[in-house]
Amino acid sequence: MIREQMSVIQIFKHAGCGQQSCRTLKRFIMLAIALMLVACQPATDEGASAPEIANSGVFTADIVRADNSGWRSHGRTYSEQRHSPLSEISSKTVSDLGLEWSFDLGTSRGIETTPIVHNGIMYVTSTWNIVHALDARTGAKLWSFDPKVDKAQAGKGCCDVVNRGVAIWGQSVFTATIDGRLISLNSKTGEVNWDINTIDKTKPYTITGAPRVVDGKVIIGNGGAELGVRGYITAYSAESGDLLWRFYTVPGNPADGFENKTMEMAAKTWTGQYWQAGGGGTAWDSMAYDPELDLLYVGVGNGSPWNHGIRSPEGGDNLFLSSIVALRASTGEYVWHYQTTPAETWDYTATQHMILAELEIDGKSRKVIMQAPKNGFFYVLDRETGEFISAKNFVTVTWASHIDEDTGRPVENKFARYYGGNKPNIQLPGPLGAHNWHPMSYSPDTGLVYIPAQEAPWVYGEDSEYRYTQGAWNTGTDFTLGMLPSQKAIFAALKASLKGRLIAWDPVEQAPAWTFEHNGPWNGGVLSTSGGLVFQGTADAHFAAYDATNGERLWRFFTQTGIVAAPITYELDGEQFVAVASGWGGSYALVTGGVLPTGSVANVGRVMVFKLGASNALPPLPKTDVTVPAVPESLEVSDDVLAMGVKAYANRCSICHGDQAYSSGLIPNLRYSPITKSRQAWQQIVRGGALEDRGMPNFETILDEETVEAIRAYVISEANSDRGAEFYQSFQ
């Protein structure tokens, strides 16, 4: 079947016909393939005491056609609209929606997985890349696979040990791991077909994204631009795991020779010794694919280091940072790009979700690609050519006034760049973005894009002592700003201005149709349906349905734990199911320690599946100890030592353990860790790698003994501050 179908697809790739006739031929062939597959597939919607396990594989036509019995690709189809035509659960019936089953993932870390459903089986990923195959009707576990990842490598990740899900193709399930592997599993048994390494293990690459599969090619990128890597995306044969093509997103050292003309072109937009910290540009999340155009769209991330003044000191746009790049999917060749943030310097990635749709603009039907990247502007581009159509800010933005319609470039505010003599400034958006990886959805019924948006400002300022440090964060920005005890007023102002909202955005008018204000930022991804509903989980531990036309909240369910993942829906035995995973986590949850969402209890990673008429309950809430632990007395150290501790903590530790040593509880709260009492134990963990197998990096080559001791003094001083009690009160 694989070969038959691939050969059919080759026909229109090499037919040499004119573009229009090719399209007609392609449509005809796609339809023929779809009909063949319908005829071949068992009737999965009938009988079904035990699910049919992957008797029929998944191929391009299944993902394009997207029948309602499954959710077969990360964004449902290659267009990544995350909109389902299912309508049994509707604005009229949703009040009868209840929990059908739940499955505990056995983790208290962040869960970002989008479940994949095919032939009555649901495939989800958990912490440390464990894959579970579940009966989509009952939640019964069919198999689990633990790739036994190298947790020391995982400690080099920027943003929690998360994963966004698997891909399926043929009879296989593909999962990409935090330690850089791509693994093919037998979809029926979970046995390994092949397991390959995709990264240079001497560099801090990690993978958190979900692979996509296009015409038998498994496509995966990676992350690591905070620490210093060179981004790329690779296609591997689904059958063998052989490397088919690789596209670098930024140029390497010219002395090594350029891989292709595109890299030679891109290098002209860089200056200085930009390759030393890798340049960045990691493609760590979003992809979309247009099978008619054979274009694969890749969202590209921020620079390494962030600070453009250090990275490319004589200026330059630094292609393809913060860009959408269109590649020929069959070959990996560059076709076009659009750069959302030229000369990126604020961690304004363009790795955010991209959606393909047909929109009526100025009386013409346009094939568009849409994105709401971190920088706060919503973009509509022509996806055949990359031509800029329109852009407008979807939240408050202070770094740029608008996007120039003639050039498609942002008009920056003068104070936004924090180097070259400019002072630090508080800016919107911050590095967590106006919209991060959390998927949006597009409803062809309403014509609206539903964006999980946020306002999370940050103080940007140059790290005047920056030098590249292998294995550490290399941003060239000073994380102590707004975090120093002397600047608690600024810090409080920052936290008070945090906002999260669901925005229904009209992409033609470039204006909101409605907004729903949440309790705070970092809420879940979005699903829309032809039942006139929008589903979204929230940081404050609820899963809710909104009226797609006016934003009225019609239904919600207390999930015990905050949600960041996106929901999906599928139909089996004539009944519609909606699934979502709880498990608050990721960069925001780690770095803004202590801002545990209201109403949430300690994290429980869990898949929850809902249907009409069901009324099951979640397992009882876990007990949370709200006793404030005793902390050691502050160490007697000089102000200079304490200042050294603050700076080192902010730049090396806060990314995971929370600013001001104020962890949100996903990983150990250092304020109350008994380890702080012992200089020796503290040193053994931080500089001796004693907890490397649990994901705590070894800082031996990054921090000296004296600095590590200063960090201990700082952490204990914070534990003795008034914010301790405040933290524990938030649980009560």
Footprint of Ca ion on this chain (CB under 5 A)? Answer: 302, 347
Nearby residues of 335 by Cβ (< 8 Å), 6 or more positions away? 295, 326, 327, 328, 386
Q: Dihedral of the CA atoms 456, 163, 306, 334 (nearest 10)?
A: -120
What is the rounded distance in angstroms from the CA atom of residue 301 to the CA atom of residue 230? 11
- Catalytic-role residue among 62, 215, 317, 347: 347
What is the rounded distance in angstroms from the CA atom of residue 29 to the CA atom of residue 33? 6
Q: Answer left, alpha or beta for residue 586, where phi above 0 means left and psi between -120 and 50 means alpha.
A: left
Determine if the peptide bond prior to 668 is cis (ω within 30°): no
Cβ proximity to Ca ion, 107 vs 302, nearer residue? 302
Contact 497, 457 (CB under 8 A): yes
- In whole angstroms, the minimum distance from the beta carbon of 318 to Ca ion comes to 14
Question: Which residue from 331, 288, 385, 356 is spatially nearest to 10, judged by alpha carbons?
Answer: 331
For residue 208, the number of C-alpha atoms closer than 13 Å in the C-beta half-sphere is 29
Catalytic status, residue 294: no
Question: Which residue from 526, 531, 371, 360 is spatially nearest to 445, judged by alpha carbons?
Answer: 531
CA distances from 395 to 23, 434, 518 (A): 38, 7, 14
What is the rounded distance in angstroms from the CA atom of residue 341 to the CA atom of residue 56? 44
What is the rounded distance in angstroms from the CA atom of residue 82 to the CA atom of residue 342? 29
Q: Phi first, then psi: give them for residue 329, nearest 5 degrees.
A: -65, -30
Cβ proximity to Ca ion, 86 vs 225, nearer residue? 225
- In whole angstroms, the minimum distance from the beta carbon of 475 to Ca ion comes to 9
What is the rounded distance in angstroms from the CA atom of residue 717 to the CA atom of residue 723? 11
Cβ proximity to Ca ion, 184 vs 206, nearer residue? 206
Q: Phi first, then psi: give them for residue 614, nearest 5 degrees.
A: -80, 150
Cβ proximity to Ca ion, 125 vs 351, nearer residue? 351
Cβ proximity to Ca ion, 347 vs 478, nearer residue? 347
Determine if the peptide bond prior to 388 is cis (ω within 30°): no
What is the rounded distance in angstroms from the CA atom of residue 62 to the CA atom of residue 42? 14
- In whole angstroms, the minimum distance from the beta carbon of 483 to Ca ion comes to 18
- In whole angstroms, the minimum distance from the beta carbon of 349 to Ca ion comes to 5
Cβ proximity to Ca ion, 285 vs 290, nearer residue? 285
- In whole angstroms, the minimum distance from the beta carbon of 603 to Ca ion comes to 23
Cβ proximity to Ca ion, 479 vs 727, nearer residue? 479
> What tokens does 466 get?
């920056």
Cβ proximity to Ca ion, 225 vs 713, nearer residue? 225
Q: Kindly write down the DSSP assignment for every residue of 441-461, as one continuous string.
A: EEETTTTEEEEEEEE--EEE-
> What tokens does 246 get?
């690789």
Residues marked active site are found at 347
